[in-house]
């Protein structure tokens, strides 16, 4: 998932939601490569931190974020003014230069990555990327599981991917400018133009006008690319893993007792089931949601196992845990269950009770439980269907021998 998050960040350069922060970043294009890198790193780190805190939903987080945005706007306005006028820039830098001289008398100018990182941090406080499929999954998982190191790493990977794609564009622009060998007056005017664009962008963000400006744009293209990453990358990874494990036997050590199945708002195709009532049966618990493309690809295999091994004692339970609001509507679930031809028990887990009991984090996710109620095998995502069927067959054989 870290790889998918990183690639999803790279794709954000195709989204119109990146436009409000472009002037702030391209205004740094005339600085040294290390300065640009520090600015982009500040953007990525701040985005990861703010997004991680956002799932806390506490009043202090909302207040702190609001104050941070106002401070960021002030910093970027001052930055824009320093680009528009060298005299203003020198005046703004005097306090910092004096501080630097006090700390190190040999230093006559402000140096180091601090100023560049500050611009990146300010930009990160203002950046609100479109929540496409990849970012949507990361944030949804964070809201379900709560803040965690894993969520922060995923958001950081997403931010670094965005920083990488923006960095490539910035350095490509620098290369083009150096080839043009512009005169000093032209360079000065370009600097003022960048300052004006940065000032306008700050005003637009401060007024909230970017929402109206972006309302008519579409992220459909970027969303399609992200969806292809979500479906393609797991298949490639699964294929590589299956190739490596082709000659090995599935790992079937006991992973603990089967968690509770209580808490579903409704059951389809069956009365409510419990882990106690399933003792003596081999159970496959499939976490899915009807609009998940990866789930749609795995369901035919689950259906076939339910049909093929029902007479041998296999019970398949689909746990429908919604990802999007429209997947919470029970009638929508019922229609899709009928459309997909699912005849096995379906627990509608709108409150994420079963999801949390299993400590699950993925769609689709398969948990295979033996006849004694022990979880013996898990698989997340698509793939490894032969291995999963082998586990089912082996656990059914174990149950038959013990019976």
The full DSSP string for 340-352 is HT--S-EEE-TT-
Residues 223 and 271 in one domain: no
Domain residue limits at 367: 266-402
Which of 202, 229, 256 finishes a domain? 229
Give residue for tokens 């391209």: 26
Token pair for 14: 């195709």
Residues 132 and 23 in one domain: yes
238 belongs to a structural domain: no
Residues 217 and 347 in one domain: no
Token pair for 162: 């965005």
28 belongs to a structural domain: yes
Q: Could you please report the per-residue DSSP string of 193-217?
A: HHHHHHHHHHHHHHHTHHHHHHHT-
pLDDT score, position 342: 95
pLDDT score, position 102: 46
Residues 220 and 350 in one domain: no
Residues 296 and 372 in one domain: yes
Residues 284 and 386 in one domain: yes
pLDDT score, position 304: 95
Q: How many Å apart are CA 245 and CA 149, to the nearest integer?
A: 29
| Mean pLDDT in consecutive groups of 10 residues from the start of the chain, 403 residues | 74 69 66 80 80 59 62 68 63 52 42 70 71 64 65 80 81 63 56 70 68 55 66 65 55 86 94 90 94 86 94 94 84 93 95 90 90 91 88 92 74
Which of 169, 202, 229 finishes a domain? 229
Closest CA to 366 of 348, 350, 378, 349: 378
Helix ranges (H only) for 273-378 are: 293-309, 330-340, 353-357
Residues 40 and 137 in one domain: yes
CATH code (residue 317): 3.40.30.10
List the Cα angle 152/157/163 in 5-degree steps: 125
Closest CA to 210 of 3, 19, 11: 19
| Per-residue DSSP letter, 382 | S
Which of 177, 211, 229 finishes a domain? 229
255 belongs to a structural domain: no
Residues 214 and 279 in one domain: no
How many domains does one find in the chain? Answer: 2
pLDDT score, position 99: 43
244 belongs to a structural domain: no
8 A C-beta contact, residue 28 and residue 120: no
Residues 186 and 113 in one domain: yes
Give the sheet arrangement for strand 346-348, strand by strand. Answer: 266-268, 346-348, 314-320, 282-288, 365-369, 375-380
pLDDT score, position 139: 67
Q: How many Å apart are CA 68 and CA 1, to the nearest integer?
A: 30
pLDDT score, position 17: 66
Token pair for 402: 């013990």
């Amino acid at each position: 998932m870290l790889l998918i998050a990183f690639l999803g960040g790279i794709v954000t350069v195709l989204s119109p939601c990146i436009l409000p922060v472009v002037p702030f970043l391209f205004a740094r294009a005339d600085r040294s490569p290390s300065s640009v890198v520090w600015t982009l790193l500040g953007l990525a780190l701040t985005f990861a931190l703010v997004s991680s805190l956002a799932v806390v939903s506490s009043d202090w987080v909302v207040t702190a974020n609001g104050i941070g945005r106002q401070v960021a706007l002030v910093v970027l306005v001052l930055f824009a003014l320093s680009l528009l006028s060298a005299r203003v820039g020198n005046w703004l830098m005097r306090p910092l230069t004096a501080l630097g001289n006090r700390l190190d008398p040999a230093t006559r100018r402000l140096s180091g990555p601090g100023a560049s990182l500050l611009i990146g941090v300010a930009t990160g406080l203002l950046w609100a990327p479109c929540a496409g499929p990849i970012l949507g999954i990361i944030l949804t998982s964070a809201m379900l599981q709560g803040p965690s190191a894993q969520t922060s790493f995923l958001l950081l990977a997403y931010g670094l991917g965005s920083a990488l794609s923006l960095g490539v564009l910035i350095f490509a622009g620098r290369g083009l400018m150096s080839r043009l060998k512009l005169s000093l007056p032209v360079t000065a005017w370009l600097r003022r133009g960048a300052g004006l664009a940065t000032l306008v962008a700050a005003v637009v963000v401060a007024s909230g006008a970017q929402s109206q400006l972006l309302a008519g744009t579409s992220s459909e293209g970027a969303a399609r690319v992200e969806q292809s990453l979500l479906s393609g990358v797991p298949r490639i990874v699964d294929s590589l893993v299956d190739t490596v494990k082709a000659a090995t036997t599935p790992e079937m050590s006991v992973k603990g007792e089967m968690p509770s199945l209580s808490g579903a708002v409704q059951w389809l195709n069956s009365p409510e089931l419990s882990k106690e009532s399933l003792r003596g049966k081999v159970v496959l618990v499939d976490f899915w949601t009807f609009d998940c493309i990866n789930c749609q690809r795995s369901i035919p295999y689950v259906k076939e196992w339910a049909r093929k091994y029902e007479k041998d004692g296999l019970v398949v339970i689909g746990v429908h845990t919604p990802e999007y609001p429209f997947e919470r509507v029970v009638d929508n679930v019922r229609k899709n269950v009928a459309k997909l031809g699912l005849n096995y028990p379906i627990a509608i887990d709108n409150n994420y009770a079963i999801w949390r009991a299993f400590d699950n984090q993925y769609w689709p996710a398969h948990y295979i439980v033996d006849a004694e109620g022990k979880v013996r095998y898990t698989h997340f995502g698509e793939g490894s269907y032969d291995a999963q069927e082998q586990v089912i067959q082996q656990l059914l054989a174990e149950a038959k021998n013990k019976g």
